[in-house]
Structure 1
């Protein structure tokens, strides 16, 4: 058994609008995210099942031809290999759970996240 103290974990700046603290266990990854309004996570997919739990703010997920808004107290389950992107509608605090753990995050092969900047302008 291991205790993880979120207060002692360093806050990683992924982009100026996207910050995270991460715990990797043998079988899962847990990420506490701070996302700023107008951030955009580019279209991507991964072999991990994902559950996004919104604590504050609102996110708009684009996946499988659907647009799903998720707010405080709500969770969204995303199956493995489903391409998805996210627009941050309000400053957000989110916990993401992934299983199996995010090997791409452990090895630093998550460059797609670093491309996630401000949401594209609406015309």
Structure 2
């Protein structure tokens, strides 16, 4: 399934979407989006890094599996399965995977850079 197909779908099966290998032990699946909202699964191998970055989007991330050291601005905290972090607009944030894991990221608006 390509990214354009996702904008017209309301019921989406995980198996219908391929993982995109980002390298260095990280891969993602864009599960669904429209112009205002996007849900992305991001899978991390142990010790993989989600480098510190910022963006104009609001981001909520749910730890679906594993353990992550999360940096948010000047703060760092270990988050585990069931925990959540919120990245406000333009705040620098990143993760280091302590135990192989999966993040469920939600963005507002959608991340156009992910679709290229």
* TM-score, with structure 1 as normaliser: 0.81
Quote how far apart the aligned CAs of 1:87 are.
0.7
**Corresponding residue to 1:19 among 14, 22, 27:** 27
Structure 2 residues without counterparts, runs of 5 or longer: 1-8
Which residue of structure 1 lines up, in the alignment, with residue 104 of structure 2?
95
Aligned residues: 107
* TM-score, with structure 2 as normaliser: 0.85
Give the ranges of 4+ consecutive aligned residues of structure 1 lying more than 4 Å apart after TM superposition: none
**Corresponding residue to 1:38 among 26, 43, 47:** 47
Which one has the bigger strand percentage? 2
Structure 1 residues without counterparts, runs of 5 or longer: 108-123
Cα distance in 2 for partners of 1:68, 1:11 equals 28
Quote how far apart the aligned CAs of 1:72 are.
0.6
Aligned-residue CA RMSD (Å): 1.3
